[in-house]
Amino acid sequence: MTRLYLLAATLNVWVLVLILAAAFAVQLIVGDLPCPLCVVQRVCLMLVALGPLHILMRGRDGFFTTRDAAVGNGMAIVAAFVGAVTSGRQVLLHILPGDAGFGAPVFGLHLYTWCLIAFACQIAASAVLLIALDFIEEKPQPDWPLTNATAIALAVVIVANLLSVIAEAGLHWDLPPDPVEYLLFK
């Protein structure tokens, strides 16, 4: 059961990494630069991923405790709440009839709407993982082999977004509300 729990935490991080990679792909392929609120939502997705990653990191040494798992799920829920506030804010900005929304829709919904759905699902998933702690036995486990690869994948996507936002903002403290070019290269 413990290994199943670690697998769930690993999948949780990879789903978030894939969401971030997909948003980055839309930025590069479609040329749709992220607005300030979009970037904040990306930061929130990264913060959410640190929760399940905390579980993996603490379980890396072969001893998995329910306390570490509870802390990791709590981190994910808090970050997902902040993310839901941010994406909810952006959804409400474009809720009036006739408003085309920001950016190109993907599968009929804008990225910030998908983000709101993702944050809501994350809160529910973390709550389920908290409940599932009741089935965990605290005893030494063999090392979980996917921890380092998962952490490296998350680090890569964070660094890519960091470079992107530096290019987008240039030397300015904030981003323009509707960015159309990379200010660093202007």
Partner 1 sequence: MIYAIFMVLVLLTLVASWRGHPWELPLFGLAVAWVLVHVVLDMTTPLTLSF
Provide the minimum distance between the beta carbon of 92 and partner 1 in the complex, in angstroms, as a whole number: 9
The residue type found at 68 is: D
129 binds partner 1 (CB under 8 A): no
Are 147 and 14 contacting, i.e. CB atoms less than 8 angstroms apart?
Answer: no
Segment 72 to 101, residues that bind partner 1, using CB under 8 A: 75, 78-79, 82, 85-86, 89-90, 93-94
**How far apart (Å, rounded) are the C-alpha atoms in residues 154 and 161?**
11
Nearest to 47 by CA among 74, 76, 15: 76
Beta bridge partners of 101: none
Instruction: Compute the least distance from the CB of residue 72 to partner 1, in Å.
Output: 10
Check: CB of residue 72 under 8 Å from CB of residue 55: yes
Q: In angstroms, rounded to a whole number, what is the distance separating the alpha carbons of residues 33 and 55? A: 33
Q: Whole-number minimum distance, CB 4 to partner 1, in Å?
A: 22
Enumerate binding residues for partner 1 (CB under 8 A). 35-37, 39-40, 43-44, 46-47, 50, 53-54, 57-58, 71, 75, 78-79, 82, 85-86, 89-90, 93-94, 102, 151, 154-155, 158-159, 161-162, 165-166, 169, 171-175, 177-178
